[in-house]
Amino acid sequence: MNFKSVKKLSFSKLAQSPIVISLFSLILSLVVSGIIMAFAGFSPLEAYGAMFVGAFGGLSNFADTLGIATPLIFTGLAVTIAMRGGILNVGCEGQLYIGGMAAALTGAYVKGLPAIIHIPICFLAAMLAGGLWAVLAGVIKIRANANEVIITIMLNYIAIYLTDYLASYVFKADGMVVKTNEIMHSAVLPQLYPHSRLTIGLLFALLAMVFIAWILKSTILGYNIRALGQNPYAAEAGGIRKNRMILFTFLLSGALAGMAGAIEVQGVHTYFISNFSNGYGWDGLATSVLGQYNPFGTVLASLFYGAMRNGATMMDRMTKMPPDFVVIMQALAIIFIATPSIIRKVMSIFAKRRGQI
Amino acid sequence: MKGITKRFASTLANDHVDFSVEKGEIHSLLGENGAGKTTLMHILYGMTIPDEGEVYVNGHKANITSPREAINNGIAMVHQHFMLVEPMTVTENIVLGYEPRKGLCFDKSVAVQQVSELSKQYGLFIDPYAKVADLDVGTKQRLEILKALYRKADILILDEPTAVLTRGEVDDLFRVLRTLRANGKTIIIITHKLGEIMAISDRVTVLNNGKLIGVYKTAETNSAELAERMVGRHVSFSVQRTATEKPGPIALQLDNIHYIKNRVTKLRDINLRLHSGEVLGIAGVEGNGQTELVEIITGLVAASQGRIIVGNTEVPHPTPHRMIDLGVGHIPEDRNHRGLISSFSIRENIMLGYQTKSVFSHRGLIDITSSNNYAKKVLQEYIIKATGTEALASSLSGGNQQKVVIGRVLSQNPNVIIAAQPTRGVDIGAIEYIHQEIIRMKESGKGVLLVSAELEEVVKLSDRIAIMYAGEIVALDTPDNFDEYRFGTLMTGLGKRKDSD
Amino acid sequence: MSGGQTIVAQIGIILSGGIRIMIPIAFGALGCTLSERVGVINIGAEGIMLAGAFGAVVGSYYTGNAWIGVLFGLLSGVLLASVHAFLTVKLKTGQIISGLGVNMLASGVTTVLLQSIWNNRGKSDLVTGLQNIRIKGVENIPIIGAVLRSISPMLIILLIVAIVLWFWLYKTVPGLRARSIGENPRSPDSVGINVPRTQILCVIVSGAITAFGGIYLSIGDVSLFSRDMVAGRGFIALAVTILGGWKPAGVLGACLAFGIAQGMQFRLQEFSVPVQLVQMLPYVMTLLLMFFLRSSHGPAASGENFHREGE
């Protein structure tokens, strides 16, 4: 591409590209977070630097980053597929706990299977459990004709307490720590890098991304989901069965979220322990929004968030900045993405500076 | 208004338009959809700011940049889509924004008193305590007019006021307008209904494509001339009726359909037989059950009682899916609501409703090549102006969008076609094309149920006409047995039933 | 306390426990009612309550005065609500995303500040809390005695707010206009009422009301702030708003019923029901209520950002 044609690339056209918008929102949120950091007495450069080292410094850290990103990819895809169908699934947190519990129990109590069968069976259990938990939200939504945000959030709390109860009483392992029995060795996910959180789960996550993208683009199921998400009235008139589709979308979404739980249980802990998720469900929401409800974008955003999370621990150690600061960055990012006028304004300021409009 | 120019994106809505109205006259603003009439009046009412031009009220230059300022200048607008707060009372709606107060509190009794006095003064009878949601359309319009009068408007702009009224209600409205005129008020009516312009206005301004065509005294012109000026060419009102062969077997049958919604009977005793090879027109003012009838036939809503039979198949639990499968094609009355998915491509919109057919998909997988070719054919056959099959539906004009919906349905060769308001919001060229297509469908042996609020359209195309009023079919006959008077009385519920089956 | 007490005394205990539970949710619900009445859904109620709770503790910590804490709590809530108002009304951000973003911001900011002020990631130090008002001599009145014996000033504020809100919404002119905005913003807009300004003001006030709920949770109840202490009450408040029909009276009634029902359930703990199952109950109950009482329709234009034509 010669220089002349590069110049011809009008800035406003660039502003239409969704990748650019996402990138911009991300950068903007980093900048604003940095300003907040500075106000709170921390050095943004130090903090971000520590974060970068923690996330990417060395193969071991990088492996951990990818490992942390794995459940995020699943919850992100869960929110994405739901959003495309017009459903705001804020219940990934609960769904992944239920899925995780299912995986833990299937892993611990089903004996005598080779890993190549045992692992997928645990996955299936997690997907089924998480999916059904989400379908429950769907049923209530349809019956009560209410917004799914409140419903799924209520189910989150119920799921957390329910699984905590199961881990504390019914399926409790012997010993002091409140957790379930260790899963069989045949259910443990092989690591892709020794002593890290990176397991073959990542491969399944990427597979899921391809699968979801394929569903949306090339199948009638995906067509129906998208139609319902874009214009439920026209979809209805076009013969698409609304309630059936809503429940199926919840099922798919919950299944993906359940997988996130399975990955954590089978790959990181090898048992179910209460509160193992540190907001993976909410991260899924953030990555999906940041990825503009596109499977590939969601995965990219998840990788970035994985990096942020991993780096946050290093940042905490080096600068004493609590890792929860990452939540602020996420909040800013999704707010910026959901406010097209902010992005447009900032981009036009840039364009004016460069003398192009 | 002098030299008003307004541009929206790439469209020149108003092109240096001069518009003037005399005090105490009823002045019509005539033009087709998209001629620029509403834009011009929005400028006058301060809802839009012109790019160029000036406005003078009573000789003084007025800088109107908001509705408040328009009201301060004595200008009020009654919109086509009522701007009412449904759960509130008549009084609250009328005084909103200019409420009588006692300190911070709303002085309800004073408000009611003022509203009663006002309504008596102009003969616009209304119950101050009624809830707006319970009112019928004609009363709501009276409410909107009272709103304007309450704010001491001297110039009233009415946007397509008769679009949703029955004949009787139109007469009432005209009586009110004459009273207002006698009281020194000035009235501007935006409309495309020629008959009414001739009946009520003193002068008429014609706009076409954003340009001023001319100003005429209604006494010195007639419908045909105005129509020509509005459209820019000769318009024929004569009905071309092809000799109808004997109608074929029954394609669609409704027996004793009743429909009750929210304890209100929306449809009562509906019995219909649509034959193959005929156009059965359902005429009537909107809001008399036509929408519900279409929803029931197309399976969107379940009737409370009655049977639906397509061809020889009875359909006990109609769903859109089932009806489409049985060969019932639906051209919805609101293409943006039920018809198209605006963010989908043309190709994907053409698939809607038929996505499982083998031309579009196999075993759940979309066949892109085949559906693309199909879409291309539809674009060609139905002369749809678009950049390609992947263009978004939102990028098309209204007429082309409607053609996509029609192309989608007709290309699938349905046995029964339910066409609801098929030419609404569509420009004249496309209207004629759509009418031709409907006749073509009939002649190839399909049964067409044409539901339309445009009486001329129904008369022009139908072999038989049924008139709906208050959820019932009050008449069913051939067009020759109807005249303006009979239409009028039936559509307002005064007529009796006469069957000719 | 055991079964040795009379039924009447037990009812009294349940009532006072129920009121304790109801207060934060009622504040949240009244705030959400106001906000939705003017057309803005406030999913961020949870975050605003959190901010209010935190601000109150900070204010009380630095000044030793609980009422200054209340002021700080209000300011925090108002600040967050202003963000939500600005985003949704002026910048047309999606209302639900804005609310979720507000929640995340509150969660993140409070946790970070928790660390920087008290060097503790779980909870703050104990601070001066709001003293309950003790009325002498009412102990013997059946049932109500248990409540009247020790009244939180927040309860009084709650009742005042509820009455004022009811009056303002239904009897005043600004209230009439606000309600019209929530039903059909085109109508007030077409007569020149400044819709955005009214919306922003109302959302900010609703933020203050909601913040009171959080303030009660921290310095009105336990006199400290712990991480995520709102625990979903903001969302329960949203559900109760729907169940109460968006009317102050209905909402208050629904909250009271909810609180009493929950109070009764806490007695279950006496019967060695596992704690997690009891903790689940408020959320289960909310869902059951939503399931069995189909929600009526709220303000018709609530949830959609208002655009003028051509914007």
Of A321 and A117, more confident: A117
Q: What is the CATH number of domain B2-231?
A: 3.40.50.300
Residue in A29, A136, A142, A154 to test binding to C, most C beta-carbons within 10 Å: A154
Beta strands in B315-355 (DSSP E): 328-331
Q: How far apart are CA A23 and CA A75, in angstroms?
A: 20
User: What's at A210, amino acid-wise?
Assistant: V
CA torsion angle for B176, B178, B184, B186 (degrees, to 10)? 90
Of B189, B110, B176, which is closest to residue B149 (Cα–Cα)?
Answer: B176
CB pair distance less than 8 Å for B85 and C180:
yes
Q: Please give the DSSP secondary-structure letter assigned to residue A192.
A: S
Residue ranges of C 234-293 with Cβ closer than 8 A to chain A? 235-236, 238-239, 242, 274, 276-277, 279-280, 283-284, 286-287, 290-291, 293
Closest Cβ opposite residue B48 in set C186, C191, C310: C310
User: What's at C160, amino acid-wise?
Assistant: I
pLDDT digits (tens, 9 = 90+) for A203-222: 999 999 999 999 999 999 99
Q: How far apart are CA C38 and CA C300, in angstroms?
A: 10
Q: Does residue A99 fall inside a structural domain?
A: yes
C148 and chain B: CB distance < 8 Å anywhere?
no
In chain B, pLDDT over 90 holds for what percent of residues? Answer: 36
Q: Does residue A122 fall inside a structural domain?
A: yes
Other Cβ atoms less than 10 A from the Cβ of A342: the count is 18
Backbone angles phi, psi at B287, to 5 degrees: 100, 10
Q: Does residue A108 fall inside a structural domain?
A: yes
CB pair distance less than 8 Å for A219 and B337:
no
Query: Average of pLDDT values for B49-69?
Result: 84
List of domains in chain C? 11-136+144-292 (1.10.3470)
Q: Token pair for residue B273?
A: 């037989």
In chain C, pLDDT over 90 holds for what percent of residues? Answer: 43
Of A39-43, B484-488, C36-40, the poorest mean pLDDT is in B484-488
Smallest Cα distance from C73 to chain B, Å: 29
**pLDDT of res. B495:** 52
How does A75-103 read in b/e, with b if 16+ C-beta sit within 10 Å?
bbbbbbbbbbbbbbbbbbbbbbbbbbbbb
Topology alike, domains B2-231 and B250-491: yes
Counting the structural domains of chain A, the total is 1
In this complex, the chains that touch C, judged by 3 or more CB pairs closer than 8 A, are: A, B
User: What's at A302, amino acid-wise?
Assistant: S
H-helix or E-strand spanning residue B319: none
Beta strands in chain C (DSSP E): 133-134, 150-151
**pLDDT of res. B498:** 41
Name the class of domain B250-491: alpha beta
Of B140 and A342, more confident: B140
Q: Which of B3-12, B286-295, B296-305 has the highest mean pLDDT?
A: B296-305
Q: Does residue A312 fall inside a structural domain?
A: yes
- CATH number of the domain within which A324 lies: 1.10.3470
Q: Does residue A42 fall inside a structural domain?
A: no
Q: Which of A212-216, C2-6, C301-305 has the highest mean pLDDT?
A: A212-216
The label of the residue with tokens 């921390």 reads A42
**pLDDT of res. A173:** 81
**pLDDT of res. B494:** 58
Q: Name the band, by pLDDT with cuts 50, 70 and 90, for residue A121.
A: very high
Q: How far apart are CA A92 and CA A155, in angstroms?
A: 10
Helix (H, G, I), strand (E, B) or coil at B13: strand
Closest Cβ opposite residue A149 in set C93, C96, C109: C96
Backbone angles phi, psi at B54, to 5 degrees: -135, 155
C128 neighbors C64 (Cβ within 8 angstroms): yes
Of B367 and B224, more confident: B367
Smallest Cα distance from C171 to chain B, Å: 6
C200 neighbors C86 (Cβ within 8 angstroms): yes
**pLDDT of res. A297:** 92
Could you write out the DSSP letters of every residue in A185-200?
A: GGGSPPBSSTTSS-BT
Whether the pLDDT of residue A123 is over 90: the answer is yes
CB pair distance less than 8 Å for A331 and C87:
no
Residue A88 structural domain:
60-347
Whether the pLDDT of residue A3 is over 50: the answer is no
Query: Average of pLDDT values for A314-325?
Result: 83
User: What's at B92, amino acid-wise?
Assistant: E
pLDDT digits (tens, 9 = 90+) for B112-122: 999 999 888 88
Q: How far apart are CA B232 and CA B213, in angstroms?
A: 9
- H helices of A110-182, in order, are 115-144, 148-165
Q: How far apart are CA A252 and CA A244, in angstroms?
A: 12
Question: ipTM, 2 decimals?
Answer: 0.85
pLDDT digits (tens, 9 = 90+) for A229-269: 999 999 999 999 999 999 999 999 999 999 999 999 999 88
Q: How far apart are CA A71 and CA A75, in angstroms?
A: 6
Q: Please give the DSSP secondary-structure letter assigned to residue A88.
A: -
Query: Average of pLDDT values for C119-143?
Result: 79
Cα–Cα distances (Å) from B149 to B154, C58, C254, in that order, read 8, 56, 43
- Cα-based angle A274, A278, A280 (whole degrees, multiple of 5): 110
**pLDDT of res. A259:** 96
Chain A to chain B, count of Cβ pairs less than 8 Å apart?
67
Whether the pLDDT of residue A7 is over 50: the answer is no
Whether the pLDDT of residue C4 is over 80: the answer is no
Backbone angles phi, psi at B460, to 5 degrees: -65, -40
Delimit the domains of chain B by residue range.
2-231, 250-491
pLDDT digits (tens, 9 = 90+) for C291-301: 887 666 677 77
Q: Which residues pair with C172 in a beta bridge?
A: B105
**pLDDT of res. B500:** 37
Whether the pLDDT of residue A93 is over 90: the answer is yes
**pLDDT of res. C204:** 96
Closest Cβ opposite residue C192 in set B67, B93, B147: B67
Smallest Cα distance from A337 to chain C, Å: 9
**pLDDT of res. B374:** 94
Strands of the sheet containing B11-17, edge to edge, are: B11-17, B2-8, B52-57, B60-62
Helix, strand, coil content of chain A in percent (nearest 5): 75, 0, 20
Whether the pLDDT of residue B376 is over 50: the answer is yes
